Structure formats: structure tokens, C-alpha cells
Amino acid sequence: MTQPLRFAVIGQPIAHSLSPTIHAAFARQRGIVLEYTAIEAGPEALAETLERFDGHGANITLPHKVAAFGLCASTTERARRARAVNTLTRTAEGWEGDNTDGSGLVRDLTERRRLDLRGRRVLLLGAGGAAQGVAPLLLDAGIDEMVVVNRSPERADALCSALGDPARAHSRYWDDLRGLGDFEMIVNATSAGRATGQFDIPFSLPSPRCLAVDLSYGEAAVPFLAWARAAGCVDVVDGLGMLVEQAADSFARWHGVRPDTEAVYAMLRAREDALVTAD
């Protein structure tokens, strides 16, 4: 009997993760036998958890994407640009780190939703692991300018410095939001508003054709998406499509074949919509 290939998603909290469901669906499509589990690990336990895990690969989610980068024996170019990883592949030398967050976001926006990102002025809220993963790929997608705002301004400065594109990527203070002008795209990579249910930033930020994107999905995305609709954003998108697309890129890296994402996305979207209706 064929032994299943072993994979996992590691983070904290992790019980809500859809990654096991997504990868199981991908595996059924491609006739691949695998075992994919969710592993809860706090920041102090990440290194030990990875050392104990004997699987073929792992996805890394919050809050570990930056820390996991430092535990890799080797990294891909896009992981080095992000200085964060969300995909680990076991090699003879140790873990190889990759980052599929940015490619997943851009694919969801440009291919699934047919949105043109070129020439947009972008406001990126947050400078942690999630923001680090998507920022380089947004620049590659042809945006005109990116303004990074973070409550800890040093992290925003560090992210912009790492991007190496001072003509297009700039950092600003959170208190400066009201004076930054308007944007054709606003990306929320923070947890702001989750505790209170209210996302409090100026309504003057969106331009008339603004695209608003939250990198989270489900209840975590509700405060920002509600703000975006109230502010008049034309397109309002959560992170579910990005989640599916980045998972497909991870799956392709591990198995050498990219799965069909549309059926899986449709299944998860129907499930999420049903939960909202039930509430």
C-alpha cells in the first residue's frame, strides 16, 4: 500500500485554517495520496516543531512567516525578496523556503477577477510577514507607486528598504494617513479592527476607482471590507481567492503539477457565503 506523502500547515491560531481542505481537494483532482494536517505552534516552538516534523513539505502561516525564513537552509529568489516564507520543501540539506503569497494575490486579482493593477497608486497597510510576501509581486505587476504604512514605522522603513525600489516604494507614519491623498488600491495586511469590529481610517483615502483588498478572509476581513464599502470602493475583495491560489502554487512546487483552482474556490466561497447568511 502506498504511504501517503505528509504535509502540514503550521501557525497560531490554526484551528480555523482551510489549508487541509484545500490541499485534500487538490490531491483528489490529481490522484495524489497525501496526508495534510494542521499543527499549532507558538513563536517559541517553531524551530522545534519544524525539527520534529518529518513530512515532505509545510505551509507557514501567521505569525511565523518571517521567523521561518531564518530557519531555512536555502530560499528561492522571491522568498529572499520578501524576507519571509510560507512554503517549505524538504531537501537533503534541510528546508527550502519559498513565498507564494504575492503570486497568489496577483493571480486572484488579475486572472480570476480580471482587474488591471498597472499604473495604480497603492496603499499597503501593514509591514509584517503577509505584507512582505505581497509587496514585491505588486511592484512586478506594474503598479505606479506603493506607500507602506505601519503602526511601527521602523518596520515600514525596513520593508521599503528591502524592496530596493525607492522611486516607487515609500514608507509613512500611521498618523499621516489623512494627508496622503487618494489611492487606486488599498491592501490591508493588518489585524486592525478585529478586536473592536471597526476599521478606523479616513474615508478620503480611496479614489473613485479604488480596489480594496483584505489579505484575510471570513470574520477577520469583515471590519476592513465594511469600511471599504462605506468609503465607496468600486471593487472590494477578501483574501479567500489569494489563499486558494497561493496554495495551488505550493502544491505545484511539491508535486510538479498545478491543480485547477476554480472548483475549489467556488466550494469555499459558497461555504463562506453560507456562514455569513447564517449569522
Task: For residue 65, indicate whether it is catalytic.
Answer: yes
Identified catalytic residue from 23, 65, 107, 172? 65
Rounded to a whole number of angstroms, the CA Rg of the chain reads: 18
CB 225 within 8 A of CB 212: yes
Cα–Cα nearest to 26, from 256, 240, 214: 256
> DSSP string of 135-164?
HHHHHHTT-SEEEEEESSHHHHHHHHHHHT
How far is Cα 15 from Cα 99, in angstroms, rounded to an integer?
Answer: 22
Q: Which residues are annotated as a binding site for NADP(+)?
A: 77, 126-130, 215, 239
Strand partners, 121: 145
Please state the φ and ψ torsions of residue 149, each to the nearest 5 degrees. -125, 130
H-type alpha helices, 17-98? 19-30, 46-52, 65-69, 77-82
Sheet holding 34-40, edge to edge: 34-40, 5-11, 57-60, 87-91, 94-98, 74-75
What distance lies between CA 201 and its chain's CA centroid? 21
d(CA 248, CA 260): 8
The beta-strand segments (E) located in 92-205 are 94-98, 121-125, 145-150, 169-173, 183-188
Residues 6+ apart with CB under 8 A from 103: 78, 137, 245, 246, 249
Residue ranges at the known binding site for shikimate: 17-19, 61, 86, 101, 217, 246
- CA 96/CA 109 separation, integer angstroms: 27
Question: Which residues define the annotated binding site?
Answer: 17-19, 61, 77, 86, 101, 126-130, 215, 217, 239, 246
- Residues with catalytic roles: 65
